[in-house]
Chain A
Amino acid sequence: MTPAYNFAYLNEQTKRMIRRAILKAVAVPGYQVPFASREMPMPYGWGTGGVQVTASLLKPDDVLKVIDQGADDTTNAVSIRKFFVRTAGIATTEDTRRATVIQTRHRIPETPLGEGQILVLQVPIPEPLRFLEPRETETRKMHALAEYGVMHVKLYEDIARFGHIATTYAYPARVAGRYVLDPSPIPKFDNPKLDRCPALQLFGAGREKRIYAILPHSRVVSLDFEDHPFSVQHFDQPCALCGGRDSFLDEIIMDDRGTRMFVCSDTDHCSKRRAAGLGSSGERR
């Protein structure tokens, strides 16, 4: 831990301001609360929003897990974890069950989250209506009046063009029957995990300066049509390492002759299964 910094990098006044925004977000689930996002020692798009939320949540006895695209060992995850080890001196883990705070980008862990855990998601564009309505004044009004018909225009376009809802990530969902939110660019495979999750889910967008939340156990419904109901991706094959059939898989290109391998994107989930003797680890490189 570097003594030059306040605990968890941000000064106490800033944390107070962010905690207030979080409290408001928790009070109005799905509502995007503006906050005075600070410059962080990392570029926008690398999780400045998530880092600020995490920094204002951390207590000295917290155990932090950071994942990027499901993996604990990718650049973004490693550097954010190192950042908090240096500035807050807290314990870190790769074990989803042991973590009290989990900061993530693009995935929700396969291991079900429990009460008392907090999931912090990094959000690039918090406004689900943005691509249909460029004016911020107008989108705020649409949220205020719950005018969400236009969200279905996008889904209609998908079906008209592709025969099915082709949106596969950042799939819009409605929280507790009121606000429609962008669940950050998680695959729609993870959308069902948002629903009635026992953990608190916080979303931080640093560049766009917004924080929003999904309360534990609240209903989160992915938008769809009656005759084209919401469904998640399915994979034709199991994970090449652990043999799991119920996790989200990443495609890995093995050489320049088109050899591909599908493996769990959640490294913690995959390695736990292999440690338990599942799958065919070592059989294929």
Chain B
Amino acid sequence: MTLADDQPLLVAEGLGKLYGGRVGCLDVSFALWAGEVLAIVGESGSGKSTLLKCLSMQLAPSSGRVHYRLRDQRMVALDRLSEAERRFLMRTDWGFVHQDPREGLRMGVSAGANIGERLMAVGERHYGRIRGAALDWLDRVEIEADRIDDSPLAYSGGMRQRLQIARNLVTGPRLVFMDEPTGGLDVSVQARLLDLMRRLTHGSGLSAVVVTHDLAVARLLSSRMMVMQAGRVIESGLTDQVLEDPQEPYTQLLVSSVLQV
């Protein structure tokens, strides 16, 4: 184990976001290590998405701070970075998978261009290489190579979501934020997507923060989880531990309200 491995990749300290007098999220602190998948679960309105946006600097937090370890191992406070550095981080070292793929994809251009965009943004100027990377990633997310020049409009929901993942992972990010990545997909497509995401995260050293209301998704993908209620983290721990032996009444309620087939 090197020194880098025992230092966290991302640390949130007392993170909070207020919308006027209303609480988005409050006093959230945690650390995320390289290669780890953290799930944030809770019901609608519990502050999951607000927290995710604060972590990924799409929203400025009202209190608290997020530290991130850059590729050169420097630990920086994200709010201290200049906007240029933050945007560079977002398109190289980070990924963001939206629930609605239309938000994360460029719907007007082909799938190949969608995957290639980040490469071009970091200065790749060789068409053949961009095309090659796009084909490689389509293969990895199980989309047929002959769909490369199709617009995402011609894709099904599940394919769009997989395309969105490919588009995010093409620059080899170290951290991916996912907001309900399986929301709105039917169960068999969900299963395939989860399978794919497990394959992509396990063993690659990729870290992820996954927001979901679906405990099954948390169970399958994450190693650790946090349960949120009314903007606060009420319970956190190893995923299996929290799901098998929930301590908080609210967590018990969540776990027991999952439908059993």
Option from A149, A226, A227 in Cβ contact (under 8 Å) with B120: A149
Choose among A141, A160, A227 the residue that contacts B112 (Cβ–Cβ < 8 A): A160
CA distance A159 to B127 in the complex (A): 8
A226 B125 Cβ-Cβ under 8 A: yes
Judge if B229 is at the interface, Cβ distance under 8 Å.
Answer: no
Verify B120–A152 contact, CB threshold 8 A.
Answer: yes
Given contacts A147-B87, A153-B109, A156-B116, contact A225 B121 (CB under 8 A): no
Query: CB of A157 within 8 A of chain B?
Result: yes
A-B contact count (CB 8 A): 55
Tell me the complex Cα distance, A152–B123, Å. 10
Residues of B within 8 A of A157 (CB): 109-110, 113
Name the residue among A141, A150, A156 with the largest chain B CB count within 10 angstroms. Answer: A156
Per-residue 0/1 for A152-176: is the Cβ within 8 Å of any B Cβ (1 yes, 0 no)? Answer: 1110110111000000000000000
Which secondary structure dominates chain B's binding surface? helix
- Residues from chain B with Cβ under 8 Å of A160 in the complex: 110, 112-113, 131, 148-149
B residues less than 8 Å from A4 (CB atoms): none
In chain A, positions 195-232 with a C-beta closer than 8 Å to chain B are: 224-228
In this complex, how many residues of chain B approach chain A with their Cβ under 8 Å: the count is: 23
Query: Judging by beta carbons under 8 Å apart, are B87 and A153 in contact?
Result: no
Contact check, A225 vs B125: say whether CB atoms are below 8 A apart. yes
Q: Does B117 contact A (CB under 8 A)?
A: yes
B83 interface residue (CB < 8 Å to A)? yes
Complex Cα distance A227/B126, Å?
A: 6
Q: List residues of chain A with CB within 8 A of the CB of B147.
A: none
Interface residues of B (CB under 8 A from A): 83-84, 87, 106, 109-110, 112-113, 116-118, 120-123, 125-128, 130-131, 148-149
The 3 closest A-B pairs by CB, nearest first: A149-B121, A152-B120, A225-B127
Extra 10 A-B pairs, beta carbons < 8 Å, given A132-B106, A156-B127: A149-B118, A150-B120, A156-B120, A157-B110, A159-B127, A160-B110, A160-B149, A161-B110, A226-B126, A226-B127
CB-defined A-B contacts under 8 Å, sample of 15: A145-B83, A145-B84, A147-B121, A149-B117, A150-B120, A153-B116, A154-B109, A156-B113, A160-B113, A160-B131, A161-B110, A224-B125, A225-B126, A225-B127, A227-B126
